[in-house]
């Protein structure tokens, strides 16, 4: 399956397999195991795994661009989201029954001119901003959850990158948009 097709996919069995890979990555991380799936032949696609505990963010890590198949990338992102997100302590055994897992599949990033691009759809498009060593990414659901408009989404992505809010206006700042599809555990 081509990476673009996986973003538009309606195959619930594939979604279940992707979620199971994420759940296994979280469980293995908490139990100190390392049993990733074989580097699969599935599409190499950007993926982020979000772990929520009782609706509160508990970890989110991923890869905007991937060089391994979807199941391997999902497992690895889940492992890191559960134990290595620097904003949170590692998940423990007691928390496993309280969490929900969410996987966001990312389409390929496309560089845009933020002042010219008019196709923004809240909940469908995510942003990535890069300038020198600084980089930040916000998933499509962030704009939807916080009801961000285009300019606010740009500013929040700059802040996530460690930049000033209006840095997207500077010539050496690169702005990328990508589409995303969320697969939820619940």
CA distance 182 to 171: 32
Give per-residue pLDDT as tens, 6-38: 666 666 888 899 999 999 999 999 999 888 777
- Indicate the burial class of 89 (C-beta count within 10 angstroms; 0-12, 13-18, 19 or more): exposed
Give per-residue pLDDT as tens, 150-164: 999 999 999 999 999
- Same fold across 3-106 and 110-179: no
Taking the CB of residue 41, how many other CB atoms lie within 10 A of it? 10
Give per-residue pLDDT as tens, 57-104: 999 999 998 888 889 999 999 999 999 999 999 999 999 999 999 999
| Pairing of the two strands 134-138 and 110-112 | unpaired
Query: Which class would CATH give 3-106?
Result: alpha beta
What are the residue ranges spanned by the domains of the chain? 3-106, 110-179
Q: What is the pTM of this model?
A: 0.88
Q: Which of 51, 38, 42, 50 has the alpha carbon at shortest distance from 14?
A: 42
Query: Which class would CATH give 110-179?
Result: alpha beta
């Amino acid at each position: 399956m081509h990476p673009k097709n996986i973003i538009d996919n309606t195959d619930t069995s594939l979604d279940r397999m992707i979620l199971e890979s994420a759940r296994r990555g979280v469980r293995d991380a908490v139990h100190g195991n390392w049993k990733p799936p074989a580097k699969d032949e599935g599409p190499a696609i950007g993926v982020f795994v979000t772990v929520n505990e009782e609706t509160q963010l508990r970890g989110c890590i991923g890869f905007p661009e991937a060089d391994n198949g979807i199941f391997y990338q999902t497992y690895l992102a889940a492992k890191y989201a559960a134990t290595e997100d620097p904003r949170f302590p590692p998940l423990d055994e007691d928390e496993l029954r309280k969490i929900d897992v969410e996987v966001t599949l990312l389409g390929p990033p496309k560089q845009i001119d933020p002042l010219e691009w008019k196709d923004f759809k809240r909940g469908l498009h995510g942003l990535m901003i890069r300038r020198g060593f600084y980089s930040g990414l916000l998933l499509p659901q962030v704009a939807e959850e916080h009801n961000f408009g285009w300019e606010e989404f740009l500013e929040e992505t700059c802040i996530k990158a460690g930049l000033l809010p209006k840095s997207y206006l500077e010539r050496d700042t690169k702005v990328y948009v990508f589409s995303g599809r969320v697969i939820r555990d619940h």
